[in-house]
Structure 1
Amino acid sequence: MSKVRWGVLSTAKIGTVKVIPGMQKGQYCEVTGIASRSLESAQAAADQLHIPKAYGSYEALLEDPEIDAVYIPLPNHLHVPWAIKAMQAGKHVLCEKPIGLNVEDARHLADIAYQHPNLKVMEAFMYRHHPQWQKAREIVREGGIGTPVTIQCFFSYYNNNPTDIRNNPDWGGGGIMDIGCYPISLSRFILEGEPEKVIASVTRDEEFKTDVVSSVMIDFGGLMSTFTCGTKIAPYQRVNIFGTEGRVEIQIPFNAPPDKPCIMWHQQGEQILEIELPVADQYTIQGDLMSQAILEDTDVPTPISDAVANMEVIEAVFRSERSGRWESVSHMVTK
């Protein structure tokens, strides 16, 4: 069976703890190499994860003809530059979310991607591929909650580490970029459309200057999605999708465990059905789907235009923070 030979740019924790182990279980993935800014760091990660090759620079990995595709878990401000370098080196790209720091970043990356039609480029919103989200979308599509009305989401963790990149505003840190992007993405995924406007209330940390508690309303033209996210709140996550005749509740919507079943509930009237999803690693599924698209030369599950659209909503949230008013979401024409 053919497999895509993957290289990883960075020894970031999300990669070494979650994504790489997940991809190593895939049918169509082979993690062949990992790069760091020092060979020692790369070699340590390679030894730990049983990866054959270690590189002392990102450039060295991109120059290797035995690497077909790269996964990029670098800090947010480095996503676009290194994704472009990877494409210029002839590599397919799976890049962590958010795709960039702003819409201009995302649009620039999309333009470069369109110039390389033989290469696959995808933003790594792994949650979408998990069976629980596929099931949720199926229930909504088939009228299982009646007409959709609103989505409510909460996503939080506590992090007061001043050296953590998620607390560095210059590198794209803060709650909205790190975890608020998920409620935005899932709302667009479930409602299968783009919002018209948003309004946000944002509290920023006095020391870090990053957003630490944000509450946002997203108007899809009569359908409303609301979420609160925070980086200095007790860890919690939950999603409820409400319709005129029922609702869907997802217990662990984003960090779905790879080693035990997930639980969701489907309520219709007074009847509540508990649905247990089989054990699944969303990172394995993501890696295999991307790899299959590469091997079969088919479309990736989530096109790069989706990453641009998500960033357009994120930018509108920040504009609303500054203005204190509803802000329209600018929908640029995508190819």
Structure 2
Amino acid sequence: MPRGTIRIGVIGAGAIVRTRHAPGFQAIPGVELAGVCNRRRDSSARAARELKIPKTYGSWEDVIQDPTIDAVLIGTWPYLHCPVTLAALDAGKHVLTQARMAMNAREAQRMLDKARECPGQTAMVVPSPYGLAGEEFIRSLLKKGFLGQLREVHVDGLTDELADPATPMGWRQKTRYSGFNMLTLGILYETVLRWVLPANRVLSYASKLIPERFDPETNKTKPVGTPDTVQVLTTHEDDSVGVYRLSAVTWGPRTMSVALHGSEGSIYYDLLKNEIRGLRRGEQVPKLLPIPDSMRGDWNVEADFIAAIRGERPVTHTDFATGARYMQFTEAVARSSRHQVPVTLPLREFSNPSL
């Protein structure tokens, strides 16, 4: 099978699956999208027509049980990522699951443990797309000592997507679908982990500034489940410190950035424009640092997954160990905010998912 046709079963065919994953897989020789299961039979049939997939299934369990399926693409909301992954790995399938990895750290650890029990199967999480273009270039700057000793990490993710109280509640604001995932916290932490050592302590405050929204699913106004603003202070394994500012209720243009400040200089990465600027000690104005073409990265999710299945290279973006790490961080932030105490990482125990 690794050198022959790889037949993929799709569970959940939302926008990202349709616009990115499906075209990506269909462009790879020897890969076939063999079947699809969506939330309802009619949407499964519609996705099959649009994506030219020959078969539909009545349930995700049917996809897992089909012996002709070699790998599973999980494009559902996070509440199904763990059960589908565990079943797929048990059935001998390779797994690519959408981010965020799971609902909580306990689920993520179960997925990681199961993947380690199945070393012959590829288990991969769709990576954060932010920072891929400049990832290698920033690594080269750090290796050359551009920053010196890292002192501070500043991470911003600001948008007005939820600033209007009339904006309806989406699935991301419902904990039964999204779990501890909140705003772009996990995706930005995953991005930062490409350059910075993991956090070993967090102190956070998360709030629902607009506590209720209209829920189209129930046609009622209901309490919101996840925060619309999150502030986090971190310490890291190299004694550097960090601050995360995330909000979906700030008016104005969307911003998403990472700034690394060291003893000898600073690096500023605009993740939306893929622009990197830097300055050295004694300079006042950051200068544009163009990403060399030879170092510019890109979205290679589908090709990376297939290459890992075929044994051509290991998973780097993103393996289950990295996914479990950012899920622990997200849960630590939720715990710290809930109890208003610092939380140490890695977590020593996993809380009840209903925390």
Scaled to the shorter chain, the TM-score interval is 0.7 to 0.9
CA distance in 2, matches of 1:81, 1:124: 17
Partner of 1:210: 226
Change (3 A) 1:177 1:252: same
TM-score, normalisation: structure 2: 0.80
**Distance (Å, rounded) in 2 between the aligned partners of 1:23 and 1:226:** 38
| Matched residue SS, 1:239 | strand
SS in 1 for 2:338: helix
CA contact (8 A) 1:199 1:317 kept: yes
Residue 199 of structure 1 deviates from its aligned partner by 0.7
- Residues 1:297 and 1:281: Cα distance change in structure 2 (over 3 Å): closer
Q: Which residue of 1 aligns with 2:243?
A: 226
Structure 2: runs of 5 or more not aligned: 213-223, 350-355
Residue type of the partner of 1:264?
A: I
Provide the residue aligned with 1:70 in structure 2: 72
The equivalent of 1:12 in structure 2 is: 14
Equivalent residue in structure 2 for 1:263, among 270, 275, 289: 275
- Alignment identity in percent? 22
- What whole-Å deviation, never above 9, does each CA across 1:145-203 have from its counterpart, x for those lacking one? 222222212124414654521111222257x5341002222333211x33220011111
Given that 1:101 and 1:172 are in contact with CA atoms closer than 8 Å, whether structure 2 keeps it comes out as yes
Residue 121 of structure 2: aligned partner = 119
1:130-279 map, 5 Å? 130-157=132-159, 158-159=161-162, 161-172=167-178, 176-191=181-196, 193-204=197-208, 205-207=210-212, 208-221=224-237, 222-234=239-251, 235-252=254-271, 262-269=274-281, 270=283, 272-276=287-291
Residue 301 of structure 2 aligns with which residue? 286
Alpha carbons of structure 1 residues 163 and 317: separation in structure 2 relative to 1, 3 Å: closer
Cα separation, 1, equivalents of 2:269 and 2:261? 12
The reply to whether residue 322 of structure 1 matches residue 341 of structure 2 is no
- CA root-mean-square deviation: 2.9
CA distance in 2, matches of 1:2, 1:109: 27
Cα–Cα, structure 1 residues 237 and 27, in superposed 2: closer, same or farther, change >3 Å? farther
* 1:25-57: CA deviation from partner (whole Å, max 9, x where unpaired): 456754343221333212222322333433332
CA distance in 2, matches of 1:31, 1:280: 29
How far is the alpha carbon of 1:3 from its aligned partner?
Answer: 5.7
Tell me the distance in 2 between the aligned counterparts of 1:46 and 1:149.
51
Equivalenced residue count is 323
CA pair 4-266 structure 1, distance change in 2 beyond 3 A? farther
- Residues 5 and 142 (structure 1 numbering): CA distance in 2 closer, same or farther, change over 3 Å? farther
Per the normalisation by structure 1, the TM-score is 0.84
Are 1:310 and 2:326 matched, yes or no? yes
What 5-or-longer segments of structure 1 have no aligned partner?
257-261
